[in-house]
Structure 1
Amino acid sequence: MQGESKKPKKILIVGGGTAGWMAANLLMSRWNNVEVCLLESSGVGTVGVGEGTTPHLKLFFDALGVSESEWMPRCNATYKNGIYFSDWSFVPGHKEYFHPFPAQVDDLTVPMFFHNIKARMQGDEAQAHPDHYFLESYLTQNNLGPLAAECFPFSVGYGYHFDSELLGQFLAERAIAKGLVRLNGTVTEVVLDSDGALASVRLDDDSLLDADFFIDCSGFRSLLLQGALKVSFKSYKENLFNDAAVVLPTEISDVITPATRSTALSNGWAWKIPLTNRYGNGYVYSSDYISAEQAETELRQHLNIPDADVTARHLTMKVGRAEKHWEKNCLAVGLSQGFIEPLEATALALTFDTVMLFMRHYEDGHFTNKFEREFNDAINVKFEAVRDYIVCHYKANQRVDTEYWRDNAANTNLSERLGAILNLWAGSETFAQDMRAQNLDVGYQAKSWACLLAGYGAFPRQRSNKAQARASSQADMEQLADFIRRCGLNFRDHNELLAHMLSE
C-alpha cells in the first residue's frame, strides 16, 4: 500500500472501558503489524451508564468474527428488539409505544402506517399508533427473540443488553491473546513535541510512554484531546437538560423481555434493561430541577425498593461533543470525544462508527492527516443527527405535569434541521418523501421519526385536503395483523433462545 511506511509503529490507547477495548480490538483486527498498547489506571473506574445497544454492536462483533455464543453468555447478555416508551405522553391511547429496530418486512407494512398517519392528520379516525405496523413490535409483545428460522428470507435488525464491565473483560482478554500490551498506571503529564503533537505521557512512577499515535479513551476528562491538545468542547446543555443519573440493580423476572423500557418520571426518565441475571435500572435527570437525593428516592419508589439494602450509584454526565475528534496524532473515542444521554443507547454505535471511519480515512490518506477535516465533519454530522433525534423526544413530549416537561416542550433551542423536520410533520402531506428530498433523513429514517411522533399522539390539528386520505379499513388492518402474525411464526421464545445458547 502506498504510504505504508508512514503507518504508525506503535499506538497507545489511554484508558480502558468498553470504548478503549472496542478500539483496541478493531485496530488490531485491521492493522496486525502495529504494536497496540492500552494504559489503564486502577484508580479510575468506568462510567458504565448504559447496558443496551443499537444493531451496531452486532456489526462490531461481525467485523471481529466473534459469534454470539462466544460473548453473550460471558456478559449475561440478552437480545434487544427495540425500546418501550412509557408515560412520555398523556394523550389518550398513547401512554406507551414501542420503537422497533428495522426489519426488511417494514417495506411491506410501513406504507399503510404513513397512509393512516396522513388520514389521521386530515381528521379521519385512522389507526396511527405505531405498534400495529412493525414485525419487531409483535415479536416483543409475544416475547420472541429476533433470530428467524432459516426459511424466513427477511433480515431483522437487533441490538443487545449486556453487563458493560463483563464485556470490557471479554474484549480485554481477546485483545491480549492477540498480542496487545496491557499497562497500568496513572497519567500525571502529557508531553508534546515541538510541533504541538503528542509525544508521550508521564506516569505516576515518573516513567514515560511514547507512541506514534494516541487514542484518547480517558472518559469525560479527555486528557489528551481536550486537555493537552486544547480541542474545544461544544455543550448540548441548551438542547438537552439532563446531566446526571442514579443507578440501581433489581432482581430479574422469570420472563426476560427482549426490549429496553424507558419510563418518563417527574424530571427525566428511568431505564429498565434485562440481563440474564438482573435488571439494570437508572434514572436520568436534570440537576437543575431535582436533587440527587430526590432523584434516588423517586427511582426507589418507581422500582418499589424504598429501603437502602441496595446501594445506589450516582453519576454525572458531560453532554455534548468535542469540536474535533481527530487532532494531529490523537483520536478521541467514547466519552472523551463526546456523549449524548443514553436515551437511544447510541454511545457504542458512535464509538464503532468513529473507529471504523477513522481507519478508513487514515488509510486513504496514506497514514497522514490528509482527510482529518473530512473525518471530523462526518463524525460531527453523526453526533448532531443523534442529538436532534434525542431532543425531539423532549420537545414533542405530551406531558404538562411538571416544570421540567413544560420547559422541554417550550424549548426553542432547536437546530435548523430539527425545526425543518417538525415543520414537515405539522404541514407536509408526504412526510417521508419530503424528508428524503430535503436530505433530512441522515441518521434516522422517516419511519423512526414517525414512530416517535405518532407514538406520542403528537398529531397536528386537523388540516383539510380536497383529496382526503381515507383510513385503512378494518379488513385491511386485520389482514396486516395476520401477515405480521404469520411472519412471527418463524421466531422462537426469547428465554428459549438464551437457554439454548447456554447449552451449546
Structure 2
Amino acid sequence: MSDTATLIDQYIAARPLGGSTDVPPPVKHICVVGGGSAGWMTALMLATTAYGPRLKVTVLESPQVGIIGVGEGSTPWLRRFFEVLGIEESEWMPACNATYKSGITFEGWSTKPGFERYFHPFVSMLDNMTMHPFVDNVHARLEGADVYAHPDRFFISATLGRQAKGPRANTNFPFDVWYGYHFDATLLGQFLAAKAVQRGVTHLQRHVTQVLLNERGDIDRLQLDDGETLAADFFVDCTGFASLLTGKALQTPFIGFGENLFNDAAVALPTPLDGPLESQTVSTALRHGWAWKIPLTQRQGNGYVYSSAHCSADEAETELRAHLGLLDADVPARHLKMRVGRMAKVWNRNCVAVGLSQGFIEPLEATALLFVQVTASMLVEALEKGDLGTSAQDQFNEAMRRRFDNTRDYIVAHYKTNSRTDTAYWRENAENMHLSESLQGVLMTWLSRKPLVAALKAGRFGGGYPTVSWYALLAGMGIFPDPNDLQPPTTHQARHNLAAVDDFIARSASNFPDHRALLADIPPGVADKALQIYTW
C-alpha cells in the first residue's frame, strides 16, 4: 500500500491553503465532542491540516451514549475523503464490510406504465457519450413526441448496478466511473477512530455533565463525569440529535422540515445475503414511506423510513417484515426516531455542529456523511485562512443553509412527483404545496417543457445535485404528457440511434468485473479522473 504519510504530505503541499504554515493557528486546541462516523471523520480532517502537529485535536466520546449505526450508503464524495487521506479501499472496505454503490434504484414510487422504477446514476465522464441523447429525448417527449426517455437506458451505472458488477473497470479500460459505497456505520466509526489516534488525535472516554460558558457566551470548558473539566479554544458538536453544545448549551434555534418531509422514524432489520451482490441501493415505496435495501459483504441491510403521523411503530415493523417475508421470523428489529431539519446556525460562537447535531435530511439519497465531509472541509479551510470572525461565520452559515435547503428540495421533489394513490400518506405528499420558490421554479420549468439549467441556476441549485440528477428524477418518475397524447416523432426528434446507445453501454459494461470478485481482490488506488464531474 502507498506510504500514507507521503501521500498526506503531498496533498498538503499541493492544495491552496489560503495562508502560510508559518502563521500561528487561530486556535491551538479543538475538542470534538462525540465519536461515531461524524466525530472521527471530522477529527481526521482537522488533524490533516496545514498546521499539522501544532493543532491539538481531542475527541471526547461518552461511553454512556450509543452510536446510531446501521447499514449505510454514501455519495461518491466519500471516495474523495479516503483518497485525500491516503487510505486505500483495500484497507478500509474489508474492515467495514463495505461494498460498492453505483447509484440508487427507486421502486414503486411511480405508477405510470413503463416508469414503475428508475435508477438515479452517479454520473461520470463516460456518460458524456450518452447523456445528450437522453436529454434530447426527454425534451422531445415533453413536446409530445413518442420517443424513449427513461433514464436507465442511457447511463452505464444503471447497467452495472442491475448486473451486479463492480464500478471499477479492468485496467485496460481508460474510463473511470464515479461511485459511492455501502458500509457498516459502526465499523466505519471504529476504523476512523483507530486512524485518527494513529495520526495524533487524543481520545478521551468521558461523559459530559455540563457545558460551561464564559462571560461572552462562548463555550469555555466541559464538566466531565469524573469531576474534571476540559477546556479548548474551539469545539465541534458531534453529539447527534441531542445537540448538546449547539442546541442545548448555545440555544441555537432549530428549523424543522416537517411540513414537506413527513418521515420522522425508521425501523431496521438485517437479513442474510441472498442472491447476487448488486452494486446499488434499492428504495422501495411502501404504504407510509419507503424501504431501503443495502448490500454489505456480511449481511443485507434493510429498513423502513416512515411517517409516525400516518402509522405506528408496530404497524411499520409489521409492514417491513411482510415486505421481507419475515412475519414469522424471530429476528429483532431496531426502532429509530429522526429529527428532520437544520440548525439556524451551524457555526455559532466558538462551536461548529457536524453530523446529526447540525441537522438531518432523511436518508433517501444518503447525504448524511456528505454533510459531515463538507462541513469539516469548510471548517478546515476557515482555520487555515486564520479567519474566524463574524463575516467568515456568516458566509459559512449561509453556505450550509443553501446546501441543506437545496438538498431538501431535491428530496421533496421525489415525494411531490409520486403518482401513488393507495394511502393518505402518498396522496398528501403529492398534494403538498409547502414548496420553496426554487423548487416551484424547477417543476414549473419542466412542465413548461423548457431546459432546466436556467431554473436550477436561478434557484442556486449548483451547490447540490447536478442538472442530470434532476432530469433522471423527473423523467424516471414519468412526468411526461399522457401516452395517449403522444405523436410520432419528427425526423429531428428521432435523430438519436438508441441501438448504438445500447451497444455502447453493453460494450463498456463488459469491462467491469463481477461485484463479488472485485471485493475479493480490490486493486490499488486509481487515478482520479472523475472529480470534476460532481460539483458540491
Common fold: TM-score over 0.5: yes
Whichever residue aligns with residue 281 of structure 2, its letter is T
The answer to whether 1:472 aligns with 2:494 is yes
1:363-442 equivalences in 2 (<5 Å):
363-432=384-453, 435-436=456-457, 439-442=460-463
Cα 1:221–1:470 change in 2 (3 A) is same
Aligned residues: 502
Report Cα offsets for 1:14-64 as digits up to 9, x if no partner.
111110010011111114221111111111111225510001110111121
The answer to whether 1:307 aligns with 2:328 is yes
Q: 1:12 aligns with which of 26, 31, 44?
A: 31
Cα 1:186–1:456 change in 2 (3 A) is same
SS of 1:105's partner is: helix
| Paired residues of 1:109 and 1:134 also in contact (CA < 8 A) | yes
Q: Tell me how far apart the structure 2 counterparts of residues 196 and 4 of structure 1 sit (CA, whole Å).
A: 27
Give, in angstroms, the shift of residue 445 of structure 1: 1.9
Cα 1:106–1:360 change in 2 (3 A) is same
Whichever residue aligns with residue 33 of structure 2, its letter is V
SS of 2:24's partner is: helix
| Paired residues of 1:50 and 1:345 also in contact (CA < 8 A) | no
The TM-score normalised by the length of structure 2 is: 0.90
Alignment-derived partner of residue 277 in structure 2: 256
1:344-363 equivalences in 2 (<5 Å):
344-363=365-384
Give, in angstroms, the shift of residue 123 of structure 1: 2.0
Whichever residue aligns with residue 78 of structure 1, its letter is T
The TM-score normalised by the length of structure 1 is: 0.95
Alignment-derived partner of residue 350 in structure 2: 329
Whichever residue aligns with residue 295 of structure 1, its letter is A
Q: 1:24 aligns with which of 10, 29, 43?
A: 43
Alignment-derived partner of residue 530 in structure 2: none
Identity of aligned residues (%): 49
Q: Tell me how far apart the structure 2 counterparts of residues 243 and 3 of structure 1 sit (CA, whole Å).
A: 48
Q: Tell me how far apart the structure 2 counterparts of residues 180 and 346 of structure 1 sit (CA, whole Å).
A: 26
Whichever residue aligns with residue 66 of structure 2, its letter is G
Give, in angstroms, the shift of residue 433 of structure 1: 5.5
Q: Tell me how far apart the structure 2 counterparts of residues 206 and 376 of structure 1 sit (CA, whole Å).
A: 35
Report Cα offsets for 1:226-284 as digits up to 9, x if no partner.
11111111100011000000000000124210000000000000000000000111100
Q: Tell me how far apart the structure 2 counterparts of residues 440 and 126 of structure 1 sit (CA, whole Å).
A: 28
The answer to whether 1:277 aligns with 2:298 is yes
Cα 1:301–1:464 change in 2 (3 A) is closer
Report Cα offsets for 1:384-442 as digits up to 9, x if no partner.
11100000010001111100000000000001110000001100333346544765444
Q: 1:133 aligns with which of 128, 148, 154?
A: 154
SS of 2:521's partner is: helix
| Paired residues of 1:246 and 1:284 also in contact (CA < 8 A) | yes
Q: 1:48 aligns with which of 64, 69, 77?
A: 69
Cα 1:308–1:141 change in 2 (3 A) is closer
Whichever residue aligns with residue 128 of structure 1, its letter is A
Question: Can you give the 5+ residue segments of structure 1 that lack an aligned partner in the other structure?
Answer: none
Whichever residue aligns with residue 141 of structure 1, its letter is R
User: Greater CA deviation, 267-276 or 442-451?
Assistant: 442-451
Whichever residue aligns with residue 179 of structure 1, its letter is G
Question: Can you give the 5+ residue segments of structure 2 that lack an aligned partner in the other structure?
Answer: 1-19, 526-536
1:77-96 equivalences in 2 (<5 Å):
77-96=98-117
Cα 1:6–1:123 change in 2 (3 A) is closer
| Paired residues of 2:438 and 2:459 also in contact (CA < 8 A) | no
What is the RMSD of the two structures over their aligned residues, measured on CA atoms?
2.2
Q: 1:172 aligns with which of 169, 186, 193?
A: 193
Q: Tell me how far apart the structure 2 counterparts of residues 89 and 342 of structure 1 sit (CA, whole Å).
A: 19
SS of 2:435's partner is: coil
Give, in angstroms, the shift of residue 358 of structure 1: 1.6
SS of 1:5's partner is: coil
| Paired residues of 2:70 and 2:301 also in contact (CA < 8 A) | no
Give, in angstroms, the shift of residue 456 of structure 1: 1.1
| Paired residues of 2:442 and 2:455 also in contact (CA < 8 A) | no
The answer to whether 1:487 aligns with 2:508 is yes
Alignment-derived partner of residue 533 in structure 2: none
Give, in angstroms, the shift of residue 361 of structure 1: 2.3
| Paired residues of 1:244 and 1:316 also in contact (CA < 8 A) | yes
Cα 1:326–1:435 change in 2 (3 A) is closer
User: Greater CA deviation, 49-58 or 350-359?
Assistant: 49-58
Give, in angstroms, the shift of residue 468 of structure 1: 6.5
Whichever residue aligns with residue 150 of structure 1, its letter is T
Q: 2:474 aligns with which of 424, 449, 453?
A: 453
Q: Tell me how far apart the structure 2 counterparts of residues 471 and 307 of structure 1 sit (CA, whole Å).
A: 54
